[in-house]
Amino acid sequence: MQKQLVRLQKILSSQGAASRREAEKMILEGRVLVNGVPAKLGQSAEFGSDHITLDGVELAAVSEHVYIMLNKPCGYITTVRDDRGRRTVMDLIADAGTKVYPVGRLDMNTEGLLLFTNDGEFANTVAHPSHDVKKTYEAKVIGDVQKAVGSLRQPIEIDNCTVEAVKVELHKETINGGVLRITVIEGRNRQVRKMCAACGVKIIALKRISIGALRLGKLKTGQWRHLSVEEVQALG
């Protein structure tokens, strides 16, 4: 019978080891072996037939999918582990009792809604811009917010790419700035911060308040909870 070959990063993701992006990094770092040989990026294998290990531990099948939302505080980086010893979001869900990984990223100084799962297809659906899952951020800024709102509603070039917000609202105006609510789909690295900077305002606090229909609600900073079946279905 012919092998059913699948890209390694997809296997690692579907079995709850890491997101596809994180899986690519693991492969490049030499942490993944296939039949005792260091894997190469782009390599395919057959889960259940080929012997796949991560950090010397055999990759096991996921018995149950888990979905978690965290209200991330500032000061934590969004990665499974950090070679520099910095605090990661995994420290905040250490008591979850199961192995999951973050869906997408929030930078160290951004707070708010961050999802975790061991379901690779769910993670890809939520994170990849082709699925049009909207992410809304609340940005406290200083500068001319009235002018910035108009500019933010137009296509903006950052990092040699043109990006565009789905929606921009002036939630509150203050003496030296205000609070903006910015909805995007792309989710590029520090996208909202770079968009605001390009439009003449400086972010002094940034928080993601929603992903799709999912809202932070009353979840306190640093706390996490499991998603309901209905919430998972609404996102997936």
Residue 33 backbone class (left: φ over 0; alpha: ψ -120 to 50; beta: rest):
beta
Extract the runs of DSSP E, i.e. beta strands, from 84-134: 101-103, 110-117
Q: What is the DSSP string of 193-215?
A: HHHHHHTT-EEEEEEEEEETTEE
**Catalytic, out of 82, 91, 107, 132:** 107
- Give, in order, the Cα–Cα distances in Å from 83 to each of 29, 116, 226: 12, 21, 28
H helices of the chain, in order, are 8-14, 20-28, 120-127, 145-152, 191-198, 229-235
CA neighbor of 38 nearest in space, from 49, 48, 47, 28: 28
CB atoms within 10 A of CB 146: 10
CB 122 within 8 A of CB 65: yes
Whether residue 159 lies in the annotated active site: no
Residues serving a catalytic function are 107
